[in-house]
Amino acid sequence: MQTSTNQSLRPLTTKINDKGNIEIGGCDTVDLVNKYGTPLYVIDEVTLRSVCRDYKKAFSSYDKVKLLYASKALCSLATSAIIAEEGFGFDAVSGGEIYTIHKAGVPMGRVLFNGNNKSADELLLALELGVGRISVDNFFELALLDELAKSKGKNVDVLLRITPGIECHTHEYIQTGHLDSKFGFDLTQIDEAVDLILSTYSTLNIKGLHAHIGSQIFETKVFDDEIEILVKEMARINDKFGLKLDEMNIGGGLGVKYIESDLPPSVYEIAEIIISKINSAAEKYNIPKPVLYLEPGRSIISTSGVTLYSIGSSKQVPHGKKYVAVDGGMADNARPSMYQAEYSAVLANNPEGDNLQNVTIAGRFCESGDILIKSISLPEICEGDILCVFNTGAYNYSMASNYNRVEKSAMVLVNNSQSDIIINRETLDDLVSHDMIPDRLRANV
């Protein structure tokens, strides 16, 4: 089976250059640090475009496919423009994501708005900008969206998000008749939702079903089971209501390689499973092959990203661990503290050094749990060395915070030996730009 970009631990352009430093996109990472500072997010354009093309090639035999990028993984003007240029639409989960995608110049008909508690303002923004699909999550939203659409004199194409009784996380998954989830209509609620759309909510045009089954998925059979449930439901709705749904969104969730022992399936492997199952299920339940929506996020952006840190203090616990601190941590990568996520890293300025020692990479933030990597073997470390952490494109910047009142990091795009700032580093003035002191307090200052 052909390999794909999501199976790579490092950006595709990563190499060790003549100076002995890690180079990505033709750019020496040490030079990037000298120019832009740390912590620094780096996105390799070649890798990002490569995985987009993997998806397009893998699903090219299914002529009714629409590929959407799940922008919650990383949403910026530049990355949105690149992904749109590669032919993708977008799955957005907030007004902010919708607005960013719009400002990047993406045709809004290629956008699906998803989420379990969309506000009236967000829904109005989606209506005004002409978002192509809204995935309706619950009964409250059905009523709200219909009311807002009527106020704007618009009709809205919607998908019905359902909870299919399948949940998958990395290496295992469960399948039950009812799954406890904040997202979507339970299978037992579908008929009531469809009936309301047909009988009461006249502005809503139901086009199909939407489900999402997990994240960082390694188990491929879960896609087979999900499609069986969705196609069966589409056929049943047709039989009961005479409603010919022709769109099916199966979500995303394909895993990536964070550490050497991770073995995610390739895009080509899941494409073969998904396409084969849709064809057989459509024949089994006697419905036309539906339009397939797929919404990968992590597997599109993660591998292209690395984060560069400057190493500062260190501490040897007597008869215990050696802690090495970097100038970032849980505010620029919350995943290790939230999910116990694991990462791989090297010294960017000494990737092939010897005298290896086992250390713990600690962040700079005032939490004992601010540990980026619990255990890693690195050459002897000195203050000022540069740590390069791989596979940080997804859910690092998008989950970043100003904890401890620290400025958010910059992001650069690298390609063909050129680097360009795509997100500016926050300044101290940025941190206080939205703060206000009431006049009654100023008099006492």
Name the active-site residue from 75, 366, 382, 388: 366
pLDDT over threshold 60, residue 66: yes
* Closest among 392, 290, 276, 296 to 56, alpha carbons compared: 296
pLDDT value, residue 183? 82
The conformational region for residue 115 under phi > 0 = left, psi -120 to 50 = alpha, else beta, is left
Domain 45-301 sits in CATH 3.40.50.2300: no
3-state secondary structure of 69: strand
pLDDT value, residue 58? 98
Between the CA of residue 84 and those of 108, 111, 135, what are the distances in Å? 11, 11, 20
pLDDT value, residue 32? 98
* Closest among 82, 68, 92 to 295, alpha carbons compared: 68
What would the pLDDT profile of 165-182 be if each residue is shown by its tens digit?
776 665 555 554 456 678
d(CA 275, CA 269): 10
Is 27 a residue of the active site?
no
What one-letter code names the amino acid at 22? I
d(CA 337, CA 331): 10
d(CA 199, CA 204): 10
Cβ contact 225:175 at 8 Å: yes
Q: DSSP assignment of 350-385, as one string?
A: -TT--S-EEEEEE-SSS-TT-EEEEEEEESPP-TT-
What would the pLDDT profile of 257-279 be if each residue is shown by its tens digit?
999 999 999 999 999 999 999 99
3-state secondary structure of 102: helix
For the chain, the domains span: 45-301
d(CA 315, CA 329): 17
* Closest among 246, 228, 226 to 287, alpha carbons compared: 246
pLDDT value, residue 177? 44
d(CA 121, CA 390): 37
What would the pLDDT profile of 47-62 be if each residue is shown by its tens digit?
999 999 999 999 999 9
The token pair at 178 is 């009812």
What one-letter code names the amino acid at 83? I
The token pair at 348 is 């960017």
Q: DSSP assignment of 109-170, as one string?
A: GGEEE--SS--HHHHHHHHHHT-SEEEE-SHHHHHHHHHHHHHHT--EEEEEEEE-SEEEET
Cβ contact 322:314 at 8 Å: yes
Q: Is the dihedral of CA 213, 218, 219, 223 positive or negative?
A: positive
Q: Provide the 8-state DSSP code for 380.
A: P
* Closest among 262, 178, 179, 245 to 214, alpha carbons compared: 179
β-bridge partners, 128: none
What would the pLDDT profile of 89-136 be if each residue is shown by its tens digit?
999 999 999 999 999 999 999 999 999 999 999 999 999 999 999 999
* Closest among 122, 138, 130, 220 to 182, alpha carbons compared: 138
d(CA 325, CA 345): 14
pLDDT value, residue 176? 45
Per DSSP (E only), the strands in 238-328 are 247-249, 291-294, 305-316, 322-326
pTM beyond 0.75, yes or no = yes
